Amino acid sequence: MTDKNDRAGVPASGARTRRSPSRQPLARSAERARADAIFLGRLRRHHDELRWLYMELYDNADMFGELVDQLRRFYDERPAALRALDERRERAGAWYRERGQLGMQMYIDNFAGTIAGVEGRLDYLERCGVTYVHLMPFLDTPADRSRSDGGYAVSDFRRVKPGLGTMEDLARLAERCHERGISLCMDFVMNHTSDEHEWARRARAGEGEYMSRYFFESRQDVIDRYTRDVPQVFPTTAPGHFTYLPELGQHVMTQFYPYQWDLNYRNPRVFNEMMYNFLFLANQGIDVMRLDAVPYIWKQLGTNCRNLPQVHTIVRMMRMISEVVCPGVVLLGEVVMAPVEVVPYFGTVEKPECHMLYNVTTMATTWSTVACRDTRLLRSQLEAVCALPRAYTFLNYLRCHDDIGWGLDYATLSGWGMEEVPHKRYLNDYFQGLVPGSTSRGELYNADPVTGDARFCATTASMCGVEAAALAGDGAAMDVALRKDVMLHAYLLAQSGLPIIYSGDELAQVNDYSYRDDPERADDSRYVHRGRFDWSLVGRADEPGSAQGRIFGALEELEGIRRDEAVFDADASVEIVDYSDPAILWIRRSAGGRTLEAVFNFSDDEKSLWMPGRARFTDLVSGDEGEFETFSLPAWDFRWYLRA
């Protein structure tokens, strides 16, 4: 005979059992009350400013009320594990600034085929010391790859591209990553949608509500004013600002590509819905949202439609929204512009905007320094970064998925006899290997035959000469190439901020020219450095003397030193030493009464260098200790000397 408690799904014996039904509702009630208090406390901190900014932009109390209601809904739907992670990160403060952070950027299909495949490769990422994984765009895009622009033409913000997996796969990957102390970054494409997005399809059908979410224009004089005032993003490959739709007899704004329709953030419905997409993705476990092309999102006739004040209002509101619902999530701003236009996206200490920004200018200047053997401009830019408040956090990298554009400080360079047009030509020739003595290999992107301007594409290893040395079978040249590669990574790790390595660079993977055989990719040379990850190279990482083993082992050692030494803390004092030899970059970091002299030789010659004074130093890489005042530094080499 079955006890009635068994039939109810409750064990039949024990006093504890009899109390459970009454205790469980009490526990749930207490947890509900705690959740209410947390949400309302966060909302209370931000409500007045959020409402003021929202009403300043939109003057629509009903839409603001809807937004607040939805913030509560997304908070309630946030998984318990993510809420707990939020609380830990709130207590820890700026967790993304910890010196043990190391990022890696990758395309899911190139690295492991699918999201589930990435989950299966987490052991390798842990072996690499990676704590931050940037998954390149994976949301649903048009089936025609030539119209997806690498994933930035989003057709559905809540659906993974079918060939890569599902949202459930993404949430599971995030959960597994969090178990290992790894955070996930994704691209949140704010400026536009694909022309296959539901909003675009309904707008194309003539539905006014959806047409108002984009910019439709039939007046040629207005189009002409935009053409006059607004710089073109891709004047060679995608000229113009509007695309004509014959079925409507109107033009739609498409600043990037004809199949990417610019969103109208003047419409509060657009802002609200995009924030709901943002929170939905955060609730899948995404830790870092890369705000793609954020300077472009507000359009205003009569301006250049770049970096307008309303953009900063929107980013500030996003920061507050995330701090209410998911405070463990970090905003990473993609602002590929001059430093004077980049820094404002940090906001202020009292009213912060982005948590992190890309250090784009330093990346481009680094490669110019390699080609010119002259660190003066690089020193100047690093000094400017060091002068900023230490809370300002940059994401540093040697190269990424995109091309390298030569947006350098030509006003300064011209004072040293380096004029813009011939300097750009020299850089492009140098990195293609067309300049005598250059060992770099790569390809131009978006070359303009009229202006002669172009951008450059290649892997780090190929730019350092690994590809050329391997093809020539030149062991001596390979030694120099690998030394240069390691030196540049040591320089990357010596900067303050979050260092990011592109997948494959840790194994000296070289350019992949097979993209030329793919009709859908052949006209986009960026795929030369977006090749499939070569898993056969992983086995060679354990081969003594192999290029893969030398690079992987060196990076592993350098990353370990960075994790262990307090001089690499984000809050360490950093200065750029004005050394007499322009080929020498000297970074000095101090913390806890200890000082690191990080010295880098950007030249083909061995250098004899002077320390600030005779003292006892420890070479952090070799472990050697000694008292000295001068030392020798081989070509393209570095030293990390610690002075107690």
Q: Could you say which of 109, 169, 292, 453 is catalytic?
A: 292
The pLDDT of residue 119 is 98
For the stretch 515-574, pLDDT in tens is 999 988 898 999 999 999 999 999 999 998 999 999 999 999 999 999 999 999 999 999
- Evaluate if residue 2 carries a pLDDT over 70: no
Are residues 586 and 517 in contact, defined by beta-carbon separation less than 8 angstroms?
A: no
Query: What pLDDT shows up at residue 22?
Result: 58
Q: How confident is the model at residue 236 (pLDDT cuts 50, 70, 90)?
A: confident
Residue 14 clears pLDDT 50, i.e. is over it: no
- Give the whole-angstrom CA distance, residue 338 versus residue 75: 37
Which of these, 594, 362, 599, 619, lies nearest to 496 by C-alpha position?
A: 362
pLDDT at 480: 98
Model confidence band, residue 449 (pLDDT cutoffs 50, 70, 90): confident
Active-site position among 140, 334, 467, 597: 334
Residue 615's SS3 state is: strand
Lowest mean pLDDT segment, chosen from 6-20, 212-226, 305-319, 483-497: 6-20
pLDDT at 148: 67
Mean pLDDT, range 447-472, rounded to an integer: 91
User: What integer is the mean pLDDT of 20-35?
Assistant: 76
The answer to whether residue 247 scores a pLDDT higher than 90 is yes
Residue among 53, 51, 95 nearest 355 (CA): 95
Average pLDDT value for residue range 244-258:
96
Predicted pLDDT of residue 21? 55
Is residue 484 within 8 A of residue 464, CB to CB? The reply is yes
Confidence band of 72 (pLDDT split at 50, 70, 90): very high
* Average pLDDT along the chain: 93
Joined together, the tokens standing for residue 110 give: 């190139």
* pLDDT of the residue at 203: 98
**pLDDT exceeds 90 at position 99:** yes
Residue 619 is among the residues annotated as catalytic for this protein: no
Please, what are the domains in the chain? 198-261 (3.90.400.10), 573-643 (2.60.40.1180)
Checking if the pLDDT of 13 tops 50, the result is: no
The predicted pLDDT at position 78 comes to 98
* pLDDT: which is higher, 352 or 22: 352
Q: Write the DSSP string, 144-175.
A: SGGGTGGGTS-SEEEEE-TTT--HHHHHHHHH
pLDDT for the residue 644: 77
Rounded CA gap, 19 and 12, in Å? 12
Q: Can you tell me which residue has the tokens 């739609």?
A: 252
Cα separation of 272 and 269, whole Å?
5
pLDDT over 80 at 100, yes or no = yes
Instruction: Quote the CA–CA distance of 333 and 315 in Å, as a whole number.
Output: 9
Residue 192 confidence (pLDDT): 98
334 catalytic residue (yes or no): yes
Percent of the chain scoring above 70 in pLDDT:
96
User: Does position 18 have pLDDT exceeding 70, yes or no?
Assistant: no
Q: Does 253 have pLDDT greater than 60? A: yes
Strand, helix or coil for residue 546: coil
For the segment 165-187, the average pLDDT, to the nearest whole number, is 98
